[in-house]
């Protein structure tokens, strides 16, 4: 067995519904490897697939390095919301060589929050494949949500927006609902001759419905063109974001405190004008002290900053990491790891 090299490093993982980023950094904040793969949310992919995707990406990032120099690991994943889910995930990775040490397992909202602000009082809302939010207060108090879909009162994000396209198109085509441009946009996007045919193909297993989340941009396209049905869907998404923020402000008793609201995820980064204008208007009414900020940096930046801080890295290291990870341009161009 060789002796440790003396160059310590940390491992940061951000796993969402559509992609997973794994970054290896030395404790001076220099990026040593950055690997990106498919989604690893245990809620969406299942526990075994989540662990498999992460383990494969970690293996690529760590290739040839002495694990005795790995001083801190941080995994920030969507789909981990309940205490039991955290324990089950920790048990699932316990036997992996890179997880035999100091390992943090948390929800990916913490990474989004840290990527966007250092403020002690803050709220983060993620609107990617799904939706979730977290609120934190300077004294350590936190507000979380179960984020279990309709069962826990959730609606929104790419999956729900995509489903709404199909739902409204189906009702428009068969006469139960008002006419909408979503019908033609849907058929063109998926190459179907009718919504009825599409529904039948999905129901009979001839076509999967896993691509519906990719239909979310159609809502914003139709809404921008003046389609009333699509505008109603966008307004519902607005209302959900505002509701999360309002709940965090109320439960943390942050009324009268200026609070940044970090808005992240693929839907947020799309910066749809109607969506952002609606959210800002809703916040002005229901949480006037808050200020909306769209987080363009990949959330793995926040994961890296949190892991470096946990390892004892200094402020210069954190700034160096921020410089490397503030945009996806730092990621080497390579294909996604297949699921």
For 315-329, the pLDDT digits (tens) are 999 999 999 999 887
Q: Do domains 9-108+299-330 and 118-296 have the same CATH topology?
A: yes
Domain ranges within the chain, ordered by starting residue: 9-108+299-330, 118-296
Collapsing DSSP states into helix, strand and coil, what is residue 21?
A: strand
Assess whether pLDDT exceeds 90 at residue 158.
yes
User: Which tens digit of pLDDT belongs to each residue from 167-206?
Assistant: 999 999 999 999 999 999 999 999 999 999 999 999 999 9
The torsion defined by the Cα of 116, 155, 165 and 196, in degrees rounded to 10, comes to: 150
CA angle, 305 then 306 then 311, to 5°: 95
Q: Tell the CATH topology of 118-296.
A: Nucleotidyltransferase; domain 5 (3.30.420)
Q: What pLDDT band is residue 281 in, cutting at 50, 70 and 90?
A: very high
- Sheet arrangement for strand 70-77: 31-38, 19-26, 9-15, 70-77, 103-107
CB 73 within 8 A of CB 11: yes
What confidence score (pLDDT) does residue 171 get?
Answer: 98
Phi, psi of 104 (to 5 degrees): -100, 130
Instruction: Please tell me the pTM assigned to this model.
Output: 0.87
Assess whether pLDDT exceeds 70 at residue 339.
no
Assess whether pLDDT exceeds 50 at residue 207.
yes
Whether domain 9-108+299-330 has CATH 3.40.50.720: no
């Amino acid at each position: 067995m060789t002796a440790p090299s003396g160059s310590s490093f940390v491992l940061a993982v951000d796993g969402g519904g559509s992609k997973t980023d794994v970054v290896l950094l030395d404790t001076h904040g220099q990026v040593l490897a950055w690997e990106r793969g498919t989604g690893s949310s245990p809620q969406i992919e299942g526990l075994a697939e989540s662990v498999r995707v992460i383990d494969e990406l970690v293996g690529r990032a760590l290739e040839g390095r002495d694990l005795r120099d790995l001083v801190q690991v941080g995994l920030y994943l969507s789909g981990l919301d309940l205490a039991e889910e955290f324990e089950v995930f920790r048990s699932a990775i316990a036997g992996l060589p890179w997880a035999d040490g100091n390992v943090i397992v948390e929800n990916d909202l913490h990474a989004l929050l840290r990527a966007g602000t250092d403020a002690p009082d803050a709220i983060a809302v993620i609107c990617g494949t799904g939706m979730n939010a977290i609120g934190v207060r300077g004294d350590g108090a936190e507000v979380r949500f179960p984020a279990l879909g309709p069962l826990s009162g959730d609606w929104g994000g790419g999956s729900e927006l995509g489903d709404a396209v199909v739902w409204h198109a189906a009702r428009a085509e068969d006469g139960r609902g008002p006419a909408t441009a979503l019908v033609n946009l849907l058929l063109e996007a998926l190459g179907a001759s009718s919504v009825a045919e599409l529904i039948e193909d999905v129901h009979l297993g001839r076509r999967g419905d896993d691509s519906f989340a990719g239909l979310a941009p159609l809502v914003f396209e139709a809404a921008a063109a003046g389609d009333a049905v699509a505008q109603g869907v966008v307004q519902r998404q607005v209302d959900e974001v505002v509701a999360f923020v309002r709940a965090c402000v109320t439960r943390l008793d942050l009324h009268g405190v200026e609070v940044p609201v970090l808005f992240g995820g693929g839907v947020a980064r799309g910066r749809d004008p109607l969506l952002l204008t609606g959210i800002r208007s809703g916040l002005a009414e229901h949480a006037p002290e808050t200020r909306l900020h769209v987080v363009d940096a990949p959330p793995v930046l926040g994961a890296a900053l949190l892991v470096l801080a946990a390892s004892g890295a200094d402020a210069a290291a954190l700034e160096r990491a921020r410089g490397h990870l503030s945009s996806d341009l730092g990621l080497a161009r390579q294909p996604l790891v297949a699921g």
